[in-house]
Amino acid sequence: MLNRARHSLFDRYLGISRLLAGQLDFHAIIQAVAQEISHIIPHDHLDVCIKTIDAKYHIAYESGLDTAWSKQPPALLTGSPIRTLLAGDVDFLLSDDACADPRFHFDGAFSRPIIDLSLRSRLHVPLKVQGNIIGALSCSSHERGTYTMEDVECARSIADLLAPYFFALRAAEQAKRSAVVETEARAREEGLRLGALKLTEALEAERQRIGMDLHDQTLADLTRLSRRMERLAAQPDMHADVLEPLCRTLQQCMHDLRQIIEEAKPTVLQLFGVAEAIENHLDRSVRESGQPISWEVTDNSDGLLVGIDQTVAISLFRIVQEAVNNAIRHGQPDTILVRIRQAEQGQLSIEVIDDGCGVPAPGPVAESDRNGHGIDNMKTRARLISARLEISRGSGGTGTTVRLGMTRDLTSRAGGQP
C-alpha cells in the first residue's frame, strides 16, 4: 500500500518534470505544473517568486488566484512577506493562519493579498541552485491548518525539480536583456557617428562655400584695391617709399588668401579623385617647402576608388594631407611615398611612408607638451568613416608610416551602412 503511494508520488514528480520540458517562460511553467503539483500538495493558490540576479528585487508568478503580487513590477526583497526565507534566515515557512501570523506582517511588508484573499494556510520553501537561493515556491489554502511537515518535504522535492529550470531561464533572460542593451548602445553610437558624419559633410560644404565667396568677393576686392594703390604709387606727387611697403603687404595678403581658398576647396579631388588630389598636394607642398624631398604616389587600388562617396573621399584626402604635411614639417625626410592599394578581401589601404626622423615613441605625453591637433583630427576623421588608422615607426625603426585601412563599402556615405 505504502509502495503504491510512493509509486504514484514518483509518477507525479515525473509528470512535473515532463511538463517542464519545452516551457520557455516563467508564467507558462507555473501554469503547466500547478495542476500536477495540486495532486501532491492541494492548494488554492500557488506562486513562485524569483530573485533578480542582483538579489535586490523579486518577481512573482502565480496560478490559481490572481493577486497584486504578480501585477507589481519587480519589488524590493525587503518588502516581501517571506523575506526571511529569501534571505536564507529560515529553511522553510509553515503557517496555519497567515492572516494572523506576525511573521508575514511587518512595517513595509506587501502582505495585503494574504488578507484580501484569505490565504490562511501557507507553506514556503526556497528554490536553491548550488546552495544559492534564487527564489521561493509557495502554496496557500483558504482553510486553516492544511499543511504539515510532510507537505514541506514534498514541496522541497518539487522545488528541487523546478529550481535548475528557473535558474537557466533567469540566466537566459538576463543574457537577452544584456544583448538588447548592447545592441541599443551600438545603435546609439552608430547614430552619433552618422550625425557627426553629416555635420562634417555640412562643414565641408560650408568651407567650400566660404572659399568661393572669398575668391569671388574678397580676392576680387583686394585685387581692385591693389591696382588702385599701384596707380597711386605711380603718380609723381606720391611718396612711393610709403606706399610701396603697403603694396607689398597687400600682395602678401592676397597670396595667403589664395592659399586659404586652395585649401578650402579641394577642386582636384572633386574633379579627378583621391589619388590625383594627393599627388597634387605632395607636388605643391614639397615645392613650397624648399626641401630636396623626392616623392611618389602609386595607385594599385584596381578601381576601388572609382565612384567613392564624396565625404569618404574628402576624409581620406584630408588624412593623407595631414600625414604628408607632418612628414615634411617634422620628419626632414629624403623621400615620401604614398601607396594606395587593394589589400586582402577587397580592403582599401593607403600608406604614407617617409624616411625621416620618425614619430616619437608612443607613451604618456604631458598635456603641456601636446601642441598639435593634426593627429587627433586624423583619428576623428578615420573614426567617422569607420576606417582604421595606425601611425608607427617605419620598418627598421626609421621614418614614419601612416597606415589607413577601410573594410566597409566605400561607395556608401556612411561607410557601409544602408
Binding site for ligand ATP (CB under 6 A): 326-327, 329-331, 354, 356-360, 371-375, 400
Using alpha carbons, list the distances in angstroms from residue 266 to 8, 28, 119, 285. Answer: 86, 64, 80, 14
Tell me the residue type at 371. N
By a kind-dependent CB cut-off of 5 to 8 A, residue 195 interacts, out of ligand ATP, Mg ion, none, with: none
User: In the bound complex, what is the minimum distance in angstroms from residue 377's beta carbon to ligand ATP?
Assistant: 8
- With respect to ligand ATP, which residue has the nearer C-beta, 374 or 416? 374
Residue in the shown chain whose Cβ atom is closest to ligand ATP:
372
Total chain residues near Mg ion (CB under 5 A): 3
Binding segment toward Mg ion, per CB under 5 A, in 28-36, 163-171, 248-256, 368-376: 368-376
Sign of the CA dihedral with 123 first, then 93, 152, and 12 last: positive
As measured in angstroms, the least distance from the Cβ of 71 to ligand ATP is: 60
151 binds, among Mg ion, ligand ATP, none (CB under 5 to 8 A by kind): none
User: What is the closest distance, in whole angstroms, from the C-beta atom of residue 376 to ligand ATP in the complex?
Assistant: 6
Q: Pick the closer one to ligand ATP by CB: 7 or 370.
A: 370
With CB atoms as reference, the residue minimizing the distance to Mg ion is: 374
Closest CA to 349 of 404, 311, 298, 306: 404
Residues contacting 136, CB < 8 A, separation 6+: 48, 49, 82, 85, 86, 124, 125, 126, 127
Q: Is 374 in the site for Mg ion (CB under 5 A)?
A: yes
**Helix (H) and strand (E) counts for the chain?**
11, 11
In whole angstroms, the minimum distance from the beta carbon of 323 to Mg ion comes to 9
The Cα–Cα gap between 281 and 283 comes to: 5
Least separation in angstroms between residue 382's CB and Mg ion is 15
Could you tell which of Mg ion, ligand ATP, none binds residue 348, using a CB distance below 5 to 8 A set by kind? none
C-alpha cell at 126: 526556497
Q: CB of residue 377 vs Mg ion: minimum separation in angstroms?
A: 8
Of 145 and 372, nearer to Mg ion (C-beta) is 372
Nine-digit cell string for 328 = 615634411
From the list ligand ATP, Mg ion, none, pick the one residue 373 interacts with, judged by a Cβ distance below 5 to 8 Å according to partner type.
ligand ATP
Residue 60 or 359 with smaller CB distance to Mg ion: 359
Yes or no: say if 111 and 81 are a contact pair by the CB < 8 Å rule: yes
CA distance 197 to 54: 39
CB nearer Mg ion, residue 108 or residue 372 = 372
Catalogue the long-range contacts made by 250-259 (C-beta closer than 8 Å, 24 or more residues apart): 250/222, 250/225, 250/226, 251/226, 253/222, 254/219, 254/222, 254/223, 254/226, 257/214, 257/218, 257/219, 257/222, 258/219
Residue 279 identity: E
The residue (of 86 and 353) whose beta carbon lies closer to ligand ATP is 353
Residues near Mg ion, by CB under 5 A: 326, 372, 374
